[in-house]
A and B are shown apart, each in its own frame.
Chain A
Amino acid sequence: MGPSHPATHGTIKFNLKLDGEKVLDCDVEVGYLHRGFDKSCEQATWTQVIPYTDRLNYASPLINNVGYALAVEKLIGVETPPRCQYIRVIVSELSRIFDHLTCCGMSCSELGAITVGFYMIEARELIMRIMENLTGARLTVTYVRIGGLKHDLVHDFAEQVAQAFKTIRKLLTDCDHLLSRNRIFIDRMSNVGVISQETALNYSLTGPILRATGVNYDVRKAFPYLVYDQMDFAVPLGSKGDNYDRFVCRMQEIEQSMGIVEQALEKLPVGPVWIDDPRFVLPEKEKVYNSIEGLMHHFKIIMEGIHVPAGETYLAVEGGNGELGFYLVSDGGGRPYRIRVRPPCFIAMGAFHEMIKGYMVADIVPTFGMINMIGGECDR
């Protein structure tokens, strides 16, 4: 099945061993979208890596941006101002909503619930418009910088979000009515792709797949970064570890994320969004054109890249699909020595055969859908 199959959104190949319609074994073949992310990063400066991270999980590019920037900042040993941290939380959560809507909407439409698919795409479009207004791009946003953000929020950001959330809540209620007690949907999702708690932990699964089995592990709670420790939110858990639980977890996380965004917008402090350090931050254009120091700083940062002290670090953030980790090694130069991304969906694909063994060929579609494999991140 695959690598290009109409029912799987993503380039991936399943080598199946079948007994009629029943799946006896499955060997997953990934790598069709491999483009040498790690190797390309070693050629670029630290700042030039940010656009590459957009293209990892392209359903939540801002979380990748934030994760990478946080890892580099950890290596440098700086902390961004509070306003920047709040904005990073807001954009991360918006991305998470976007990611979950993509995952749930696509999976539903693959199961025949086209209406729900369209409703969720409509909700997603509202988030995307906010992102577009903020960053100037719909998908490849490149909004976060090392030591700050590209620019502050737009002036009517809070109103845009409030309006969008109002519509999204209505749309999600409609989706809920269409699905929650829908016999066809529950038959296809419930008790399919079941994975036990022990197996999930043994396979290093994270994110909604792990939480659907009842393990309370969310990086935002376990290892709080940014200002997540000041936010009030719950971690939705499942019990059975089947596709339906994963779906419900994701839908509840959307609600929680919307709550986080609203809290963060309420608490949003005033102040700068950049750290005050000319070694890492590009000077304002005014200074570049009118002073020799400004010009030199600009030139150095663009041509050589910022200098990150030698060392190594690992930092994980909660991505849409699970723990998104960055392992960075610097040799003290302007270019990274090694960048490794811990891709949550690559690891989830490693456990796919466990989820699908003993089920029908048709069950591959919802199970694969709920993993939300994003080729850009899986294959890098």
Chain B
Amino acid sequence: MSNANPRISYIREKLDSKIIEVQQAHGDDVLLLDRSGLRASFLVLKTDTQLGYDFLSDITAVDYWQKKEPRFEVVYQILSIMNHQRLRIRVPVPESDPTVESLTPLWRGANFLEREVWDLFGIRFIDHPDLRRILLYDEFQGFPLRKDYPVNLWQPRVPEREVAGTFVDERSHNKLLRLKKSLGGKI
């Protein structure tokens, strides 16, 4: 089916050993890629003059807990601004070693997107310059978008932390302590 598409067969030629599967999903081209040498594969897609997928649109992940093996899939949406073509790339990642090569050397925009995937799914990006939590706070335990993270789980409050060079009000810390005391350790 997708063999009829010359662009896809060209990609097949270029990335032969890395491709696990080529799919068509509701008119979108989807490529399942092996995670080894992922950055090199993306480099081909980005710099090849015939393909020219020069724009990274989005990075996210899906957790197929107890549904699929390997458990995670990192999903990249790339597009070619010149040719107006989109391509979706899915990279299976096993639970035992949730790591993928970072794309920040290719697209600096990957920085925030990969941080978000790390924050919510706990998938590590190798060679990422600054892999910190982004939407949640540093003391947060676990990765909330994993399917085995209960939706109604409460996490304890954290005291206001001092950031170098900022003024932290002592009173708010004492207030939190009083609050904790009055609630009998419920928070």
Q: Which residues of A contact B (CB under 8 A)?
A: 15, 30-31, 34, 36, 38-40, 42-43, 74-75, 77, 199, 201-205, 215, 217, 222-223, 311-314, 316, 323, 325, 327, 329, 331, 337-338, 340, 342, 346-347, 349-351, 379-380
Contact = CB atoms under 8 A, between A and B. Distances in A.
Contacts of A199: 108
Given A215-B81, A325-B57, A342-B58, 11 more contacts: A34-B136, A74-B27, A77-B26, A202-B108, A202-B109, A203-B107, A204-B58, A312-B30, A316-B57, A327-B60, A350-B109
6 A-B pairs closest in CB distance: A204-B109, A350-B112, A31-B135, A203-B109, A342-B58, A340-B60
Interface residues of B, number: 37
B44 interface: no
Contact of A203 (B26, B67, B108): B108
7 contacts: A38-B145, A204-B56, A204-B58, A222-B81, A223-B86, A313-B28, A314-B88
A205 B144 contact: no
Interface of B: 25-28, 30, 54-58, 60, 62-63, 67, 75, 77, 81, 84, 86, 88, 107-113, 116, 120, 134-137, 144-145, 151, 163
Contacts of B88: 314
B81 A325 contact: no
Contacts of A77: 26
Given A15-B163, A217-B81, A342 B145 contact: no
A337 B54 CA distance: 30
> Which among B28, B54, B60, B163 has the greatest number of chain A C-beta atoms within 10 A?
B60
Contact of B26 (A217, A311, A337, A351): A311
Nearest to A378: B135
Contacts of A38: 120, 145
B54 A312 contact: no
Contact of B109 (A74, A217, A327, A347): A347
- State the main secondary structure of chain A at its contact with B: mixed
Contacts of A340: 58, 60, 75
Contacts of A338: 62-63
B21 to A, nearest CB: 13
A186 to B, nearest CB: 30
Nearest to B26: A313
Contacts of B54: 201
A74 B56 CA distance: 22
B108 A31 contact: no
A33 to B, nearest CB: 9
B129 to A, nearest CB: 12
B81 to A, nearest CB: 5
A337 B77 CA distance: 19
Contacts of B144: 36, 39
Contact of A346 (B63, B67, B108, B112): B112
Nearest to A354: B108
A374 to B, nearest CB: 15
A202 B134 contact: no
A313 B151 contact: no
B90 to A, nearest CB: 8
B28 A314 contact: yes
Contacts of B57: 204, 316, 323, 325, 342
Contacts of B84: 222-223
B58 A380 contact: no
A228 to B, nearest CB: 14
A42 B28 CA distance: 23
Contacts of A217: 55, 81
A351 B137 CA distance: 21
Contact of B111 (A30, A223, A312, A350): A350
Contacts of B120: 38
